[in-house]
Structure 1
Amino acid sequence: MPVPALPLWFEIGTYAVLALILAFDLTLAFKRPHVPSTRESALWIAFYVVLALAFAGLMLWLGDAEHAGQFVAGWLTEYSLSIDNLFVFLLIMARFSVPRRYQQELLMIGIILALVFRGIFILLGSALIENFSWVFYIFGAFLVYTAIQQVRTGPHDEVERESRMLSWVRKRIAITDTFEGAKIRTTVDGRRVFTPVLMVLIALGTTDLVFALDSIPAIFGITRSPFIVFTANVFALMGLRQLYFLLGDLVDKLHYLKYGIAFILLFIGVKLVFHAMHANELPFINGGEAIEWAPEISTWTSLAVIVASMTVAVVASLVRMRVEARAEAKSGEHGERS
């Protein structure tokens, strides 16, 4: 549901502070390219999580519980989708054999591209919602479809689709097989050619575009405020670079995570359809009148479903990992005895 606007000075100040934080993170990634330690990554992630929760507290103080609840629900939704993004990022880096010490810089570029794409879709989404209430039917149906695809396919399918496009690019552009740091172009035999960095950036950009198409309708199912939508996306993407190095191969072992994300998308898709029915203006549906029995799902219900879905998915994945580890250990013991 719509909420009154927050103070203008708070919104402008927020944009300025977030821009400074992102600029600092970008500078750090390019000036000091390295593989972050587990401790360094964990501290940065903790800092960004505390920062997001403190921001929610400010929204509670300057606005109300509805503002804070919408931000937290939106942030958690976008954070879960960003973690899903890591699956594909990991596969892209492996696919092009990107040296670990250069991955920070390329990931940071991927995150900036994600912010740009999401910013564009936020502006487009806000304009559509403002003028056409029926767009919620489309957003809802799209999220339900995305949820089904989330279960049916995996990150390997996404990378396979990108590989076909990248093969087409490679046939038309001269690209070397070796990296020269994070340089996008180099000179070979007196001729300027591209390095594999170009292919990595195209793959990351394509992935960001696809995820922006999923994430923006999802968060508009939680809040109609462009400010909350944008800040939730920025806070969700902060620390993604460090999370990438912290989780590493563990992300691929969170087997049930995609089902938790799919359930969240399905839930928000149904919520959007209910909202469209409640605010119906289409003449061929119920004579253009609102469908009164369609429920309006509250922000707090959405928040509870999101938290419960991710908790169940992560805990179930960890339990499966433990069971598989024990089975593997027993198998090893039997092998030694025989």
Structure 2
Amino acid sequence: MLEVTALGWTITIGVIVALLALDLTLGVLRPHAVGFREAAGWSVFYIAVALLFGVVFAQIVGWDHGTEYFAGYIVEKSLSVDNLFVFVIIMSTFAVPQKYQQEVLTFGIIIALVLRVIFIALGATLLNAFSFMFLIFGLILIWTAVQLFRHRDEDPDVGDNAMVKAAKKMFPVTEKFHGGKLFARVDGKRTATPLFITLIAIGSTDLLFALDSIPAVFGVTEEAYIVFVANAFALLGLRALFFLVKGLLDRLVYLSVGLSIILMFIGAKLVLHWLHQDLWHGAPEISTPVSLIVILAILTITTVASLLKTRNDPKAKAHAGSLRVTSPQEEDAKR
């Protein structure tokens, strides 16, 4: 079991908060349209920081835990790309001006990080108290994988978001943006701006992604510290990555398929771990190095296949995929 001292936690959290403050400064205090060179530079910076941390971490605690970190980081990074799909849809739906997209993304990342900290603490507590939670987490991931594969050619409907609907009922919403303000006074009345509704949509989306990503990363490591840092470093580069790849997202036509296979694989790994631990010690278990190789192979095949597909069929367009459960009426309508 990994033992992390209070000093270790303090230094880690301090580094992450400093990087988050840097991201906040760039995205909120200096709103501007982000170009390719700037996005590429910051993306390389955040990935380099994450890799450097992994190497230093592995040197200190050993490569067994180091491999778990890299596997967790890659899982969270791949899931964050699907998250970017949804961010693009939300930005387009609410017609967010390009110079304010940084602000929305930065707050979205902060919300995502806070939610993940909550779910990491909850998940670690449940796993330590009840071993059958490995089975529950595994079944959740398998169900998610099946739904994502079934609805791989769809995009989530932002208009159906329950929190967005509730926000619109609670506050009158202006049709126009008022600079970077979340609320504005129109005809003497306090009203919400489209920027506020956009943040509500992104925050609620972050909640759904947290519910999926935390069980997924616990599938490659049981260490809460590794789960936390893998999530944090994957999320910190999300703002820059958004502006770097948003023009390429449409070409990743098989991303949802690849992610569904990864989630299915990790779900099966968790179920086997529970079976080995609680029912049958002869049940096979999947090691972290094997998990890392499988995840990298799936992502590589998915990316190459997607690029080949779009090169041969320029009209092919990627979709974020949806986790919604299709109603019987919708199924009948499709038939």
Structure 2 CA distance for aligned equivalents of residues 326 and 97 of structure 1: 24
**Pairs within 5 Å for 1:110-259:** 110-154=108-152, 156-160=154-158, 162-163=160-161, 166-259=164-257
Instruction: Describe the shift of the 1:160–1:28 C-alpha distance in structure 2 as closer, same or farther (beyond 3 A).
Output: closer
Letter in 2 for 1:102: Y
SS in 1 for 2:157: helix
Bigger drift between 166-175 and 184-193 goes to 166-175
Structure 2 CA distance for aligned equivalents of residues 271 and 162 of structure 1: 33
Say which of 289, 301, 305 aligns to 1:300.
Answer: 289
Say which of 74, 77, 87 aligns to 1:76.
Answer: 74
Q: Could you tell me how far 1:163 is from its partner in structure 2?
A: 4.4
Deviations 1:56-107 (CA, angstroms, capped at 9, x unpaired):
1111211101111000000000000000001110000000011111010011
Structure 1 CA distance for aligned equivalents of residues 315 and 25 of structure 2: 44
**Higher radius of gyration, 1 or 2:** 1
Deviations 1:244-264 (CA, angstroms, capped at 9, x unpaired):
111113212200111111111
Structure 2 CA distance for aligned equivalents of residues 118 and 164 of structure 1: 21
> Is residue 291 from structure 1 mapped to residue 289 from structure 2 by the alignment?
no
Q: Which runs of 5+ in 1 are unaligned?
A: 281-289, 328-338
Match in the other structure for 2:298: 309
Letter in 1 for 2:135: Y
Instruction: Describe the shift of the 1:38–1:294 C-alpha distance in structure 2 as closer, same or farther (beyond 3 A).
Output: same
Q: Which runs of 5+ in 2 are unaligned?
A: 317-335
SS in 2 for 1:158: coil
Question: TM-score, normalised on structure 2?
Answer: 0.90
Instruction: Describe the shift of the 1:9–1:171 C-alpha distance in structure 2 as closer, same or farther (beyond 3 A).
Output: closer
Letter in 2 for 1:111: I
Bigger drift between 34-43 and 133-142 goes to 34-43
Contact kept, 8 Å, 1:87 with 1:155, in 2: the verdict is no
Say which of 38, 43, 46 aligns to 1:45.
Answer: 43
Contact kept, 8 Å, 1:35 with 1:245, in 2: the verdict is no
Deviations 1:153-202 (CA, angstroms, capped at 9, x unpaired):
25854234644653454244211011012211101111111111221111
Question: TM-score, normalised on structure 1?
Answer: 0.89
SS in 2 for 1:187: strand
Deviations 1:15-56 (CA, angstroms, capped at 9, x unpaired):
111111111111121121112111111111111111111111
Structure 2 CA distance for aligned equivalents of residues 264 and 89 of structure 1: 21
Task: Please give the root-mean-square deviation of Cα atoms over the aligned residues, in Å.
Answer: 1.8
Contact kept, 8 Å, 2:42 with 2:237, in 1: the verdict is yes
Q: Identity across aligned pairs (percent)?
A: 46
Structure 1 CA distance for aligned equivalents of residues 39 and 127 of structure 2: 38
Structure 2 CA distance for aligned equivalents of residues 60 and 202 of structure 1: 38
SS in 1 for 2:191: strand
Contact kept, 8 Å, 1:88 with 1:156, in 2: the verdict is no
Match in the other structure for 1:54: 52
Match in the other structure for 1:11: 9
How many residues are treated as equivalent by the alignment?
Answer: 316
**Pairs within 5 Å for 1:316-327:** 316-325=305-314
